[in-house]
Structure 1
Amino acid sequence: MAEADIQRQVCEAQENWRQKWHENGDNEIPFVTLTYAQSIDGSLAVERGKPTLLSGPASMKMTHVLRTLHNGIMVGVGTVIADNPSLNARLAEGSNPQPIIIDTHLICPTTIKLFTMSTCEKPIILFGCGSQDSAILERKRTLDALGARVFECNTVLGGDGRVHVDLRDAFRVVKQNGISSIMVEGGSAILTSCLQEATQRHFIDLVVVTVAPTFVGGLRAVGSLLTPSTAAATTPFPRLMHPRYHVLEKDLVILGQLG
């Protein structure tokens, strides 16, 4: 029952989004769902590079069902390197989403499952380190030859003082390539960047967080949301409006729209 309620609420949010943008005539970016699983103390994993299974079977299946409701699934290259995920919907019936990798410096390995397993879709890779560098051009050609679609995006200076792909531009690029809805699944850097951006401009439409009743004390799911442009501002932090709570076996699933 809880899984069906979550699925229905996601579908309703997507339909409301479609109606809103149809009326306003401004839909340059897709519908974006931010989703991840964390421990009760806010950890994604024991430490960076060591995947930690937190979700129970029911919430894991729910996540795969949600994947079938989106055209694309986005992760950062750090997650790809650490977890080597399949990014498909093997635990649910329906279509697999298009894998999308945010990879500012184009360091994505060529040996990952997305390239080597027939059950995985070839990824879209979005980089932002400049296409004039000969080494980057050669890297792009290699990834293209493996079946990836590689696009350059604008960059921004992140709260950590480093250059990152501008996520709004990344969403615009994938929308231009036929992706109308995206699940952003992490890792920590992408989740933090999305929520930092959400303090200044809207592009996250829905948030689904699974909380496992486990203490890990490890890698934080979300880092500081303060940036050079928001540290002294009075802009409120992102907050879920009218959140809904569902229990799936031992896990708590929190779902809501950002206000």
Structure 2
Amino acid sequence: MRRALTLAANGPARGPHARVGCVLLDAHGEVVAEGWHRGAGTAHAEVDALSHLAPGEAAGLTAVVTLEPCNHWGRTGPCSEALVEAGIGRVVFSVEDPGEHSGGGKERLRDAGIPVEEGLLADEVEEFMRRWLVAARLQRPFVTVKWASTLDGRAAADDGTSQWITGAAARQHVHEQRAAHDAILVGTGTLLADDPSLTARGDGGELLADQPVPVVVGERAVPEGSRILQHPHPLIEERTRDLSAVLADLFAREIRSVFVEGGPTIASEFIRRGLVDDYLIYLAPTLVGGSRLALGDIGVETLDEARRLRVTAVTPLGDDLAIVARNQSGSSS
């Protein structure tokens, strides 16, 4: 299963499809073939592995797969059916497919008389597939809220200046995180105040190969000549303050991960509504005092109502720290 997980990591991390790996074993536990999913419209991991064998060679083999074989016709056929037709003798998978239409593969396999075991290395695979699984289970994109602040929790000085709280290493790390998400989202307040381009760029200012789709949320129009209109991807304007509706629309557009990089207002609203899956905070060893807090009202009136988080990673970036945290329960805040 760990080999299948390694194979899965070869697939594209962005987009609507899960990264899945498959290993086919003979009766002695020796690897006969292996495969992984390479993206939309390509063979799924099980079919990719089977493609390396001649007709009949898969009979009696054990298929080890990170995700339950799918059971529906999409851009490709159902993997459960492919395994049945190939004569696979046993299937071991880690995590159940939460898809309303794609799930049910294990039942199809068992109905065909194929023994199925599930749950092997489930914790490791769940963590590896976390973004995709959260999106599939909640039917909305995985949401990362990012902000940069001083040690005393300020996102800007009292005169509004905020460039730059963090150093060059932290700022480059932000661009890498932008590139790792399907979309980047800001509110109209940030757009009008900062005129951001919302692109992912390298050390020399060049555009990275992967670019997040720009999304602006709010009722005010995007002014002509805004830098965001020069983005490599067309701008998505969400003329509403209903964040749940925004996420539902983005999910329908096959966006599965969103990087929220607006100011305190929109970040606080995502938190207040319980729509955050990961927090990414860049902490600078600086003090400025004043009233420009990194967050505003998040619906907490007493300490008993505080959002309790669990830190999952701390990365030094020059003099700064990048801190990743999630809700203590592991679900959204």
TM value normalised by structure 1: 0.69
Partner of residue 217, structure 1: 289
Q: Distance in 2 between matches of 1:19 and 1:28?
A: 10
Partner of residue 250, structure 2: 174
CA contact (8 A) 2:169 2:318 kept: yes
Q: Select the residue among 127, 130, 145 that pairs with 2:239.
A: 127
Q: Which amino acid aligns with 2:182?
A: N
Aligned positions, number: 199
Deviation at 1:75, TM superposition (A): 0.8
- Root mean square deviation, CA, Å: 2.4
Q: Select the residue among 228, 249, 255 that pairs with 1:114.
A: 228
Structure 1: state its 5+ residue gaps: 1-10, 129-164
Q: Distance in 2 between matches of 1:251 and 1:189?
A: 24
Partner of residue 149, structure 2: 38
Deviation at 1:70, TM superposition (A): 0.4
Q: Distance in 2 between matches of 1:39 and 1:100?
A: 27
Q: Distance in 1 between matches of 2:152 and 2:301?
A: 25
Kindly, what percent of the aligned residue pairs are identical?
28
Q: Distance in 2 between matches of 1:85 and 1:258?
A: 29
Partner of residue 183, structure 2: 72
Deviation at 1:194, TM superposition (A): 1.1
Partner of residue 240, structure 1: 309
CA contact (8 A) 2:186 2:216 kept: yes
Q: Which amino acid aligns with 2:294?
A: A
Q: Output one character per residue of 1:39-80: Cα deviation in whole Å (capped at 9) or x when no partner.
A: 111111224764431121111111111111101001111111
CA contact (8 A) 2:134 2:142 kept: no
1:52 equivalent to 2:166? Answer no
Q: Distance in 1 between matches of 2:157 and 2:233?
A: 29
Higher relative contact order at CA 8 Å, sep ≥6: structure 1 or structure 2?
A: 1
CA contact (8 A) 1:114 1:120 kept: no
TM value normalised by structure 2: 0.54
Structure 2: state its 5+ residue gaps: 1-12, 14-125, 329-333
CA contact (8 A) 1:39 1:54 kept: yes
CA contact (8 A) 1:114 1:121 kept: no
1:28 equivalent to 2:142? Answer no
Partner of residue 62, structure 1: 173
Deviation at 1:183, TM superposition (A): 0.4
Alpha-carbon distance change, 252 to 86 in structure 1, aligned in 2, over 3 angstroms: same
